[in-house]
Structure 1
Amino acid sequence: MSAKRKIAVVITARPSYSRVKTVLSAIKKHPQLELQLIVAASALLDRYGSAVNFIEKDGFEIAAKVFNVLEGENLTAAAKTTGIGILELSTVFDNLRPDIVVTVADRFETMATAISASYMNIPLAHIQGGEVTGNIDEKVRHAITKLADYHFVASENAKKRVIQLGENPAMVFNTGCPSIDIAQEVAKNSKLTFNPYEKYGGVGSQPNLNNGYIVVMQHPVTNEYQDSRKHIEATLRAIQKINKPTLWFWPNVDAGADGTSTGIRSYREKYTLENVHFFKNMEGEDFLNLLHNSRCLIGNSSVGIRECTYLGVPTVNIGSRQNRRDRGTNVVDVGYDENEIVAAVESLLKTENRATSNVYGGGNAGEHIAALLIELPLQFHKTITY
């Protein structure tokens, strides 16, 4: 009997875990694969929701933890965090000796995973390459595409774009987005299945959710990080005007996160937000269940573009963070303007019909990716196609 193929998956942030949870489960169950789960960066930090707690609760064994986040939440800190990640992950890969390393999406910390694996001649698989957003994430994503050997993309347009970048078409697979696997299960339940206040705590008032509620998730934009406080204040003013029960989630650890967080805290000190409750994080299934039963999502998270498109949740997408990304008709784009945000939300709240879309797949990405990981030839060299 041949030895199991060792698959090292690196999780660097709370969204990354939700994005690949079904991939981890499929690898873990596959008789010919061995999962080596590495948790790093902000996924280990409590102030950003400590995704590691949910990972361990879900029964995944963690092979290594990498603490590499440098405080500062600015561009210099992001660059140095990436550098520390390269140093630490190289040691981890040297110890674990994986057959394939899997990296996820486009956050700046993922660059460290890609560089370490590539320089150590370990085949690299990239999930969610080929997408465009118009900010630093796009640079990171395309750079990882050029470092990666296998590409598990989430849409047909993403597949075309990866091939246009010169990658071997035989190594580019439209698997759909693994997060849609979870959304598919969540869509089967039309009711909120838990009490968010009791289960996740958080701070702020506890508005009654029985007659509908709004969800807000807004992150800083790396190439606009100096304006992050101004951006979040426009949203805060809009939410105050809308005056509906609102559940607000804390931002990612990106350059500008300090401005976003400070803006929220300062606003709360000045004004009474009677209908707003703040959370750090939630388990992926609970978060999607919460979204599925909400009136709309406001902010700039990719969950509004991906999972909400599949679920048909109306989304007000603010600013440039998701520019040019494939989206469904559930999304309304607005600028950093409180009046635009209010008008868009009020319009969506009047809409009864929810348009759904399978642009990011139909719910079997995890199993598809696991099957490919066992079949693909182990290679760390490029076939020139341009």
Structure 2
Amino acid sequence: PLLPEMINHTGSGSEIDISKPFRLVIFHPTTTSYGGEHEQMANLLEALESLPMQTLLLWPNIDAGADHISKAIRVFRERVAPTWLRTITNLNPEIYLKVLARAACAVGNSSSFVRDAGYFGTPVVLVGDRQRGRETDVHVTHVDPETAAIVKAMQVQLSHGHYLASTLYGDGHVAERIAKELARLRPYVQKQLNYVAEDAQSIPPNGNESTGNRNGSGRLQRDPQKKYRAAAR
């Protein structure tokens, strides 16, 4: 189970009461559109402020543009001093998945919102282009990084609540199926060796220019003026 001390022993800001609904927010840079991160994060934070509820926000990764996002978060904390916000650098994977499963809504652009959140049925508001083009299930709502669009999508997802679990990205048993297929396959591993002339002059597919028996008599009659290399296939 998710215990309060798992998320309240680290980070800063208000403590999260896990017995009540809380929001999980993660917003990473989109490196292909470098330069707009500060404005996008500011819009997201404004949307969170417009719909206040206790929120756990994880700091961005170290991709280019992360410093702009971090600055927007710091400016927001100093200006607004939100009593509903807790910021954490990171969580270990086991605790993070428990948080994701328990969250009333996940907002941002983490890849885990596409893959793992679906397995838990956690409602997601996927903001911006970082995950654009990835296949998503019904638990995900795509929005542009604009305040009004984010607020509207959060309202819809919070009203809906958790979805049925999705197996779009797997059901937890892929390893067994891969092992079964590998055990079933019997690949042909016998190597064949041909001699190929480096001057690109054609040599018969069997590598011989004269007939011969299995014991080697009458083997390939090489031209001393040519160079040959062994070609395995």
TM range (shorter): 0.7 to 0.9
Q: Residue 211 of structure 1 is aligned with which of 20, 34, 48?
A: 20
Structure 1: which 4+ aligned runs deviate by more than 2 Å?
A: 191-199, 364-377
Q: Which amino acid aligns with 1:347?
A: V
Distance in 1 (alpha carbons) for counterparts of 2:147 and 2:6: 27
Shift of 1:211: 1.6
Deviation track 1:159-216 (CA, whole Å, cap 9, x = no partner) reads xxxxxxxxxxxxxxxxxxxxxxxxxxxxxxxx534533444x1011224332210000
CA distance in 1, matches of 2:8, 2:77: 22
Q: Give the distance between the partners of 1:242 and 1:371, measured in 2 at CA.
A: 49
Q: Structure 2 vs 1, CA of residues 364 and 335 (structure 1 numbering), >3 Å: closer, same or farther?
A: same
Q: Tell me if the contact between 1:317 and 1:333 (Cα under 8 Å) persists in the aligned partners.
A: yes
Q: CA RMSD in A?
A: 2.3
Count the aligned residue pairs.
Answer: 187
Inter-partner Cα distance in structure 2 for 1:237 and 1:226: 19
**Hey, what does 1:235 align to over in structure 2?**
44
Distance 1:247 1:353 in 2: 18
Give how far 1:310 is off.
Answer: 1.4
Output the amino acid matched with 2:67.
Answer: D
1:320-351 deviations in Å (ceiling 9; x for gaps):
11112111100011111111111111111111
Which residue of 1 is the match for residue 105 of structure 2? 296
Matched, 1:306 2:119: no
Distance change in 2, residues 1:358/1:256 (3 Å): same
1:262: Cα distance to partner? Answer: 1.2
Which residue of 143, 150, 156 maps to 1:334?
143
Partner of 1:323: 132
Q: How high is the TM-score relative to the length of structure 2? A: 0.73
Pairing partner for 1:222 from 21, 27, 31 = 31
Paired with 2:65 and 2:138, the residues of 1 have a C-alpha distance of 30
Counterpart of 1:226 in 2: which secondary structure? coil
Any idea what SS the aligned residue of 1:350 has? helix
* Matched residue, 1:276: 85
| Identical-pair percentage | 32
Does 1:364 pair with 2:173?
A: yes
> 1:315·1:330 contact (CA, 8 Å) conserved in 2?
yes
CA distance in 2 between counterparts of 1:261 and 1:361 reads 33
**Equivalent of 1:259 in 59, 68, 76:** 68
In 2: Cα distance, 1:270 partner to 1:240 partner: 12
Which structure 2 residue ranges, 5 or more long, are not aligned? 190-233
TM-score if structure 1 supplies the norm length? Answer: 0.45
Secondary structure, counterpart of 2:36 in structure 1? helix
Alignment partners' CA distance in 1, 2:97 and 2:153: 22
Deviations 1:80-134 (A, max 9, x none): xxxxxxxxxxxxxxxxxxxxxxxxxxxxxxxxxxxxxxxxxxxxxxxxxxxxxxx
- Match for 2:71: what amino acid? T
Change (3 A) 1:366 1:204: farther
Task: Give the distance between the partners of 1:207 and 1:310, measured in 2 at CA.
Answer: 23
Aligned letter for 2:15? Q
CA displacement 1:207-236 (0-9 Å, x = unmatched):
433221000011010011200111111111
2:2 to 153, 172, 192: 192
Ranges in structure 1 where 5+ consecutive residues have no aligned partner: 1-190, 380-386
Query: Is the CA contact (8 Å cut-off) linking 1:330 and 1:356 kept in structure 2?
Result: no
Distance in structure 2 (CA, Å) of the matches to 1:373 and 1:275: 51
Residues 275, 373 of structure 1: alpha-carbon distance in 2 compared, 3 angstrom cutoff = farther
Question: Contact 1:222/1:256 (CA < 8 Å) preserved in 2?
Answer: yes
Q: How does 1:1-386 map to 2 (within 5 A)?
A: 191-199=1-9, 201-352=10-161, 354-366=163-175
2:24 is paired with a residue whose SS is strand
